[in-house]
């Protein structure tokens, strides 16, 4: 009997414990699968009540064309936690989005600047799917937050988003107000000091910033974008970091830290841009498709047909017909036809560094470009700035180009065709000169880079490359602890075929010093150029130091037949 009572007591205790646990368990608030139909602006607004992870299985169907404006609209999603996470189906309808916020005449420079501001139909989306939608935008807003995210469709994307079959048209403009503070001096004058100079802007025709394993496909943008600086006649205010793209300002996965883990995860296919870009800032990345793009494995058919891409910077500038910078990107089947790409400056800083290309300004970290056609009537680079400029790419860093042609002319300043004599050399000494490297394909090839099957009609100093440079890396191997050079190499993404190594002596604690040289490869004679700027050859004897910088590359053949044949081959591949 006692044994039965003990069992009964234990059973009751377990039942009480289970009941308590059930009572303490949080209520399941997930909404599961549901459909929200959008027939009017009020229906669209209601999405702001269905944000976050509880609504990630919702399907939102647009059933009519809508117009929204700053009077009746706040972007959907205000943070990653409170973001749109469902599936938005546009059914081919059009949303017209108009917002015009005047720049304040006066600012309280003692007030705290917001950390983030989001502009777009959607402010923030996370893991969302958006498809089959037309968007017309007319956006004019001040850039007045630490980070400004502006897109025709969405300001900020995160997580595994998928956007497809979207057309965006219209205009986007952001301005900087006079953010100087005025500090009274003892002599009665006022000292101007720039406030908020650390602010950043991410602006794109489709999206401002895409951070995560995003997929974007079948997107057409004709949005004209103007990211400006403010000049009150005495002082210029500008955003510090500027990323401007006809499609996306900046696109990247969450983790960029490991070069060894070089598996690109983002996808961007069938993207077309036909607008105009004007981007100003301290550090600027601008291009017809992306301002900056990182780790895109499936980059295919990026097409730009634009009248002008203009970028102005105080210090660093990366601008191209298609992208300002690509890093660990595989890009296949791309073309850009641009009337003019302009690299300008509104600063006298001696540290100004520009990378300018008809396709991409800066190609970095084992990116690969294949099947590219570039036609830029005029690339103009500001006078007396340090620059690498190419008909295709400004700087090729540990990357490759295969099957590409370029056509156009390089100008130094607005109107003069670039010659050595147009560059300012102080006393003809190398140390006092601005460096200027340019080529019909690439301004500078650096490190483990490969050029293969190229031809150019682009008028520049050098037919193919302005400068070639191996990269030297010092590596210390702890051989006393069993480490080997071969083991180190196996844990990198380097190609052993493009490396030469010298063992340079033992260090302390059993370490061995190695000098690793990363070599470029353009040894094959499968590239041609039609003509270089003949006036350069006449100028060289007058500037012997310049000769050191203008490296001869191969014996290119002036053969238009080869150019035409390669052009037709690449064009067939792009349109296949």
How far are the Cα atoms of 276, 324, 410, 555 from residue 390, in angstroms, in the given order? 21, 13, 8, 18
Last residue within a domain, chosen from 424, 449, 465: 465
Same domain? For 385 and 476 the reply is no
The residue written with tokens 């053949």 in the block is 557
Higher confidence at residue 350 or residue 145? 145
432 & 488 share domain: no
475 and 458 in one domain? Answer: no
Does 485 share its domain with 445?
no
In a domain, 565, yes or no: no
SS3 42: helix
- Mean pLDDT over 230-234 rounds to 60
Q: Are residues 418 and 496 located together in one domain of the fold?
A: no
The answer on 253 and 285 residing in a single domain is: yes
Whether 443 is in a domain gets the answer yes
Q: pLDDT value at position 15?
A: 64
Say which range, 102-106, 279-283, 360-364, has the weakest mean pLDDT.
102-106
402 and 448 both lie in a single domain: yes
Instruction: Give a yes or no: residue 133 inside a domain.
Output: yes
For residue 323, tell me if it sits in a domain.
Answer: yes
Is 543 part of any domain?
no
Calculate mean pLDDT across residues 288-306.
94
- pLDDT-based confidence at 550, cuts 50/70/90? very low
Residue 236 has what pLDDT? 64
Q: How much is the pLDDT for 227?
A: 93
Give the whole-number percent of the chain exceeding pLDDT 70. Answer: 76
How many structural domains does the chain have?
A: 2
Question: What is the C-alpha to C-alpha distance for residues 170 and 95, in angstroms, rounded to an integer?
Answer: 12
Under 8 Å between Cβ of 430 and 453: no
What's residue 71's pLDDT? 75
Q: CA 564 to CA 461: how far, in whole Å?
A: 22
Residue 227 falls within a domain, yes or no?
Answer: yes
Q: Quote the domain boundaries for residue 514.
A: 471-518
pLDDT band with cut points at 50, 70 and 90 for residue 128: very high
Same domain (yes/no): 297, 383: yes
Rg over alpha carbons for the chain, rounded to the nearest Å, is 28
Considering the domain architecture, whether residues 510 and 408 belong to the same structural domain is answered as: no
Which among 518, 533, 550 is the end of a domain? 518
Give dist(CA 56, CA 463) in Å, integer: 54
Same-domain pairing of 476 and 459? no
Residue 426 DSSP label: S
User: Which stretch of DSSP H or E encloses residue 337?
Assistant: strand 330-345
Residue 242 located in a structural domain = yes
Pick the closest to residue 343 from 308, 375, 370, 381 (CA basis).
Answer: 381
Instruction: Indicate if the pLDDT at residue 560 is higher than 80.
Output: no
Q: How confident is the model at residue 386 (pLDDT cuts 50, 70, 90)?
A: confident
Q: Is the pLDDT of residue 155 over 80?
A: yes
Picking from 408, 392, 380, the residue whose alpha carbon sits closest to that of residue 444 is: 392
348 and 496 inside one domain: no
pLDDT digits (tens, 9 = 90+) for 327-351: 999 999 999 999 999 999 877 667 7
Average pLDDT of the residues in 388-400:
94
Q: Which residue has the tokens 């010093």?
A: 513
Q: Are 3 and 29 in contact (CB under 8 A)?
A: no
Residue 505 binned pLDDT confidence (cut-offs 50, 70, 90) = confident
CA distance 322 to 303: 7
Average pLDDT over residues 309-314: 90
User: What number of residues does the chain have?
Assistant: 576
Q: What is the mean pLDDT of residues 481-491?
A: 90
Q: Do residues 118 and 131 lie in contact, with contact meaning Cβ atoms separated by under 8 Å?
A: no
Give the CA count within 13 Å in the CB-facing half-sphere of 11. Answer: 6
| Residue 157 · residue 212 · CB < 8 Å | yes
- How many angstroms separate the first and last alpha carbons of the chain? 86
Cα 137 to Cα 221, 223, 249, 526: the distances in Å are: 11, 8, 16, 46
Does residue 131 have a pLDDT over 80? yes
411, 493: one domain: no
Which stretch of DSSP H or E encloses residue 436? strand 436-439
Q: Round the average pLDDT of the chain to a whole number and report it.
A: 82
pLDDT greater than 50 at residue 230: yes
> Is there a domain that residue 376 lies in?
yes
The Cβ of residue 264 has, within 10 Å, a number of other Cβ atoms equal to 19
The per-residue pLDDT for range 178-199, each reduced to its tens digit, is 555 555 666 766 555 554 457 8
Q: Cα–Cα–Cα angle for 134, 140, 141, nearest 5°?
A: 120
Summarize pLDDT for 400-457 with one digit per residue, the tens.
Answer: 999 999 998 888 766 555 554 555 444 333 333 567 788 888 988 899 999 888 888 8
Tell me how far the alpha carbon of residue 410 is from its chain's centroid. Answer: 23
249 in Cβ contact with 209 (< 8 Å)? yes
Question: Nearest 5°: phi and psi at 454?
Answer: -125, 150
Structure confidence by residue, pLDDT tens digits, 248-277: 999 998 766 666 555 667 899 999 999 999
Average pLDDT over residues 482-497: 90
Mean pLDDT calculated for residue range 215-243:
83
């Amino acid at each position: 009997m006692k044994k039965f009572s003990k069992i009964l007591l234990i059973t009751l205790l377990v039942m009480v414990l289970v009941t308590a646990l059930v009572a303490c368990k949080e209520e399941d608030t997930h909404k599961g699968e549901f459909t929200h139909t959008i027939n009017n602006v009020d229906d669209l607004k209601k999405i702001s009540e269905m944000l976050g992870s509880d609504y990630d299985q919702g399907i939102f169907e647009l059933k009519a064309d809508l117009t929204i404006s700053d009077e009746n609209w706040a972007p959907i999603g205000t943070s990653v936690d409170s973001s749109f996470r469902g599936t938005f189906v546009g059914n081919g309808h059009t949303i017209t989005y108009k917002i015009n916020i005047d720049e304040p005449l006066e600012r309280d420079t003692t007030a705290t600047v917001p950390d983030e501001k989001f502009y777009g139909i959607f402010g923030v989306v996370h893991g969302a799917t958006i498809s089959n939608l037309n968007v017309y935008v007319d956006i004019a807003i001040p850039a007045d937050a630490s980070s400004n995210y502006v897109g025709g469709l969405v300001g900020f994307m995160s997580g595994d988003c998928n956007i497809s079959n979207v057309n965006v048209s219209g205009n986007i403009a952001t301005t900087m107000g006079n953010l100087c503070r005025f500090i009274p001096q003892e002599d009665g004058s006022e000292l101007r000091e720039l406030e908020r100079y650390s602010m950043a802007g991410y602006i794109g025709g489709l999206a401002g910033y895409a951070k995560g394993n995003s997929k974007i496909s079948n997107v057409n943008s004709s949005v004209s974008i103007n990211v400006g600086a403010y000049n009150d006649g005495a002082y210029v205010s500008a955003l510090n970091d500027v990323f401007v793209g006809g499609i996306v300002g900046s696109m990247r996965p969450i983790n960029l830290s490991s070069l060894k883990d070089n598996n690109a995860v983002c996808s961007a296919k069938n993207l077309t841009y036909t607008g105009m870009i004007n981007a100003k800032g301290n550090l600027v990345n601008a291009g017809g498709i992306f301002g900056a793009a990182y780790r895109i494995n499936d980059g295919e058919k990026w097409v730009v047909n634009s009248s002008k891409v203009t970028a102005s910077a105080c210090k660093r500038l990366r601008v191209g017909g298609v992208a300002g910078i690509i890093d660990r990107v595989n890009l296949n089947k791309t073309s850009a036809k641009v009337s003019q790409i302009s690299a300008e400056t509104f600063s006298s800083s001696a540290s100004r560094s520009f990378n300018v290309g008809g396709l991409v300004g800066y190609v970095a970290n084992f990116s690969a470009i294949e099947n590219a056609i570039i036609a830029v009537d005029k690339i103009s680079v500001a006078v007396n700035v340090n620059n690498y400029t190419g008909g295709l790419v400004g700087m090729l860093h540990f990357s490759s180009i295969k099957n590409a042609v370029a056509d156009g002319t390089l100008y130094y300043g607005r109107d003069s065709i670039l010659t050595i004599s147009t560059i300012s050399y102080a006393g003809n000494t190398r140390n006092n000169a601005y460096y200027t490297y340019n080529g019909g394909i690439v301004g500078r090839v650096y490190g483990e880079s490969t050029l293969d099957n190229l031809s150019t009609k682009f008028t520049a100093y050098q037919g193919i490359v302005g400068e070639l440079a191996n990269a030297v890396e010092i590596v210390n191997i702890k051989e006393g602890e069993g480490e080997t050079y071969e083991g180190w190499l196996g844990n990198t993404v380097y190609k052993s075929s493009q490396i030469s190594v010298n063992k340079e002596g033992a260090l302390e604690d059993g370490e061995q010093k190695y000098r690793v040289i990363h070599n470029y490869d353009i040894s094959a004679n499968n590239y041609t150029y039609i003509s270089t700027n003949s006036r350069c050859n006449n100028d060289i004897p007058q500037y012997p130091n310049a000769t050191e910088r203008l490296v001869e590359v191969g014996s290119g053949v002036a053969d238009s037949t080869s150019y035409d044949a390669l052009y037709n081959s690449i064009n067939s591949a792009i349109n296949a």
